Amino acid sequence: MNRRVLVLVFALAAVLAAWQVGTTSATTFIVTTVGNSYSPADLTVAVGDTVNWTGITGAHTVSHTSSNWTINSGNDTSWVFSQPGTYTYTCNFHAMDGRIVVQGQQAVTSTSTVTATSTPTAGPPPTTPPPTPAHMGGTLVATLSGANEVPAVTVSSTGSVSLTFDSGAGTITGTWHLQSPSSNVTAAHIHTGAAGSNGGILVTFAGLPAAGGSFTTSNTGVAASLIQQILANPGSFYVNVHTTNNMGGEVRGQLGRGASCPSGQIVVLLAPGNEVPARTSRAQGIVALTLDGTAGTVTGTWTIGGQASNTVAAHIHQNIPGLNGPIVVGFSPLPTAGGAFTTTTAPVNTALIANILQNPNGFYVNVHTADYADGELRGQLACAAFRQHLPIGARTGAVSGGTVQIGAGMFAPRSVTARVGQTVRWYEEGGTHTVTSEAAGADGGLLFTSDWQAPNGLTVGMEFSHTFTAAGTYPYYCRFHGAPGGVGHAGSVIVTS
């Protein structure tokens, strides 16, 4: 081999070595919205990776303008991150915050030329290591039911599972609750397949208690590519639990991104129309729950009124909206007449609490009365953080007089106290309602009304606010479901100096 050929070989080798050090396999990450939260809210990626925001259409945006990036979209959008750093973004309409941490070297934008006639010499080693290959992590949940099996299975058992994935470590950690299996649990897997179709096994879970209950699992050595695929498109995979009586599967659920509640603060709006089947009662209620996974306790602050008869029981049940499920947590003592009261339940299995907080919408509160033994009031669990939507101004120093949730037949709380100069905000949780002041303003019109913002009424996800400038009591009502004088769907704001 002559000298010119050797020089060309060395030159090509140098080019390939430089290319290998300066590049990594790019990964695409998915961020979506669950309720009024980005999921995941915090994400770590590598230089060159792409983040796709999907499912953003509606009342949310992905917005931020700063020295290191500008993004402002009310629809699905994507961004390729070419420089390391921390990138934060918000929703223009809700208290939603997201953060992208980009690791690795800045992308190379200059070009290098290798002269084929010169003899290459070994250069110094890189002063910084190549970027760490990106990996994906996140938590997915599934609500398990026999109705989800293909074909459906008629069983009283239900379940839920929260799975935490880490493609870098190759692990899947599961927190499970299986309620009342028809027979011994024999196996559980992640399968490939969309809802309504069956597919092959991809991941097998071991160490399952035959009787079900609350337990954890741990899988290691899972291929990073499989974890990335599941996290990128969870709806194409499902969890299936098999029993002796139902070898093909007893309860099943598609994987999805649950609206987790790490704060442990849950709010439930209770209405007869949420029952399955719906009730025609005039009862209404609200309960604020605090779930403590360390102490194993569930405490509740309740307000219930208008029941058809005496209250006899209240529980947390396990299932999604539209389906009934078994009891997992009971509450006592309960005053038969309802009203305002508190409860404390202990001990509660800590794995069950973790499962509820990871997927609160997979559970509901049911209040039973003498006339409605199967339940007169019902509401799905939701994280309190999703029900207190302070706009961006509140995060930058503006004082707030409180937040009122609007639900079926009630304002919650019915009466709120604020100080002069503070703002009260109403958030529509369900249905169509108005916030209509009984008092007149200085111009002869109403002092405040949501009709200024939404002439046809507030719908789910909308907010209305008013800043009070004078002390006094300000009654208001929903013009669709209430009337002046505290009739029906009505409330008040008490403003102090």
Per-domain boundaries in the chain: 3-103, 137-254, 265-385, 388-496
Give phi and psi for 11, each to the nearest 5: -65, -45
Give the sign of the dihedral formed by CA 349, CA 355, CA 360, CA 362: negative
The pLDDT assigned to 367 comes to 96
Residue 58 CB neighbour total at 10 angstroms:
11
User: Using an 8 Å Cβ cutoff, are 182 and 157 in contact?
Assistant: yes
Q: What is the pLDDT of residue 468?
A: 87
pLDDT at 3: 47
Q: What does the alpha-carbon distance between residue 243 and residue 246 come to, in Å, rounded to a whole number?
A: 5
Q: What is the CATH number of domain 265-385?
A: 2.60.40.200
Q: DSSP letter at 50?
A: E
The residue type found at 391 is P
Question: Tens digit of pLDDT for each residue in 365-421?
Answer: 999 999 999 999 998 887 764 443 333 222 222 334 567 878 656 787 788 888 888
Per CATH, the homologous superfamily of domain 3-103 is Cupredoxins -  blue copper proteins (2.60.40.420)
The verdict on domain 137-254 having CATH code 2.60.40 is: yes
Per-residue model confidence (pLDDT) at position 426: 87
Question: Do residues 230 and 165 touch, judged by C-beta distance below 8 A?
Answer: yes
The pLDDT score that the predictor gives to residue 389 is 35
Q: Are 460 and 428 in contact (CB under 8 A)?
A: yes
Spans of the chain below 70 pLDDT:
1-26, 34-35, 55-59, 65-68, 72, 74-75, 92-93, 95, 105-136, 258-260, 384-402, 407-409, 430, 442-444, 453, 455, 460
Predicted confidence at residue 66, as pLDDT, reads 61
- Rounded to whole angstroms, how far apart are CA atoms 164 and 221? 14
Please tell me the predicted confidence (pLDDT) of residue 67.
55
**CA triplet 6, 11, 13: central angle to 5 degrees?**
95
At 409 the pLDDT is 61
Fold match, 3-103 / 388-496: yes
CATH topology of domain 388-496: Immunoglobulin-like (2.60.40)
Map residue 377 onto helix, strand or coil. strand
The pLDDT of residue 396 is 27
pLDDT at res. 295: 93
Q: Distance between CA 311 and CA 321 in Å, rounded?
A: 22
pLDDT tens for residues 62-78? 877 665 677 767 667 78
